[in-house]
A = this chain, B = another copy of it.
Amino acid sequence: MSCDARFSEEAAALGYSFDGEIKIGGNYTPLIRDGNHIHVSGQIPRVGNEVVVTGAAGDDTDLARARLGAQICVMRALALLQRSLGSLERVKAIPSISVFVQSARHFTQQSEVADGASELLYKILGPAGAHTRTSVGAFQLPKNATVELSLQATVE
């Protein structure tokens, strides 16, 4: 099965479509190619016009919902890569991802939240989905999002 077929399968399993416009929240560009690297802007769990996972993990929202937020963020990033490249088969590596989790004071499971995104990278991209990661507890995020995720990809 191709990366693109696995992407569609995981989108269906999540119950969200990433076919529409991938809206961004300000005066910047969603992704930039620089040689064989692509930088993807910070993604929040927005589907269409709605940020579907909001609030602080461990307070307004729980670990399961926060993981869903991380999954939506990484699917958005992959959707942007897919559109730009024509196919996710062209992604050769994900050198790094950064995951910011809006956190309650005593919520320390930022890594467990980020695993939601990491697992999808492995499932969809296979060995090319291996990545380094930095997970941080943020005090707030744009539009009260629970998670924000940025990544860098290497392409052929």
Contacts and interface: CB of A to CB of B under 8 A. Distances in A.
Interface residues of A, number: 54
A93 to B, nearest CB: 6
A39 B95 contact: yes
Contacts of A144: 108
Interface of A: 25-32, 34, 37, 39-42, 93, 95-98, 100, 102-112, 114-115, 118-119, 122, 130-144, 148, 150, 154
Nearest to A36: B35
Nearest to A43: B134
A137 B134 contact: no
Nearest to A33: B95
Contact of A148 (B103, B136, B139): B136
A118 to B, nearest CB: 4
Nearest to A107: B140
B108 A143 contact: yes
A118 B122 CA distance: 33
Contacts of A34: 93, 95, 154
Contacts of A93: 32, 34
A135 B26 contact: yes
